[in-house]
Structure 1
């Protein structure tokens, strides 16, 4: 019987890694008229009007009792306007990152969008969050780690101390039957991971090694996950996004043809061990 050779990639999502053609990766493609008429983005910022490039004061804010009494606000440059929008963007992010070690990530990612011209983003806190998520998922139906452990136990050729190449697809099926790690749990609404990653775009899972000794096995499994720090038109059309000034500013900074700040790939990786035995219950 032929043994499966390692490292071996056992799962890849249909969505590709580094897919810059994805619809949420567009930038600078919408006019003022489109933003206002199609997406209702008239009231964008509390501090500046991105369309007229004027600072907002109580005298030129439509909802203010002082509106219109002193004409337009102070004129600023497009660069100054963008800087003010990014500052407000960062300030508003605090609502989504109230606690946890991951709290600083959202501000760092907003700043990355401001200055890094679309370069991919990587941070050890993202890798850590991914690892903790995988290890803490104890759902027998959803955990890819637990489902892989079950497959190693049941499909290993214990007599010859190998994992048969003919059973490779069982590993892919195990992953497919579970739930890939995503940051859409209740706690992710407040710990900073829901706003930085939330859902994910692409996932690759690779078994780097598998050792089988007597009645025990030890697998080293690598997870590579990618998300897009980006908004598409479907996102901003949803009430739960459009109702937050945070997302309205984000969308205008990314998609307004006078700004066009580039979205970017968010990369996460981690390696875990799965250890078990033939007689494990």
Structure 2
């Protein structure tokens, strides 16, 4: 029997979450509200950081870039989920699937690197405050962000080119709401040792190494905090790191749960819920994590709103 390879696949079918019309309508409403909240909150945070001179520091520069990244990250997934929730046509072209896989993978990888950069920024600020301005100059900050994007999309180029060269011989039905690695691997019939090696290589570059850098940064930060003579100073320093630690825990926890397991352990129905968490919920929650606990951001937002209402 002739094997059906990737060249014969012209489109994929995204099953989404449910075929129940009432639940589909409910999901459409929920994801629409989540997307609107994500757009408004991230755009607001970007505007506050850009228009408030008090926030023109490396830490808020990275927070603004994280909000920009989350803005596009959510936009890769949520509109397609909305369309699939109310449309009978749940197909996505082979090229469209590859494009979504590439962009989403690039943005996800970039966020892994950016979160590591943000941990290094906190380490530089806490461990050696006298040299902080020189170590995290504007040029240095822009270079670190650019390197995060370049590394993220370089890795995505590699994994996308190899994934969509696989043979999809069993089915073109993806039991998920977007073109993700686990369901695509499930459809493949020619997994090779070289492809598995690439997956481990990408996982190491995107998750393991950034995680190690974050852990080392916070180990140094903790050591510096414990040396502070003032309890008030310790609490203030830790509070500046708490928001980032929360984001890192949520994001890396869900990423590791999905991608750092053998493919034989994938349970797509359960994993879809976790995927929603890091593709939709975290981009929506991040602006609140970084603003509700941050007095400087709240005060800057109040000043911005006052200027807007006065004009």
Q: TM-score, normalised by structure 2?
A: 0.25
Instruction: Select the structure of larger CA radius of gyration.
Output: 1
> Larger % of helix: which?
2
User: Of Structure 1 and Structure 2, which has the larger fraction of its residues in strand?
Assistant: 1
Q: TM-score, normalised by structure 1?
A: 0.27
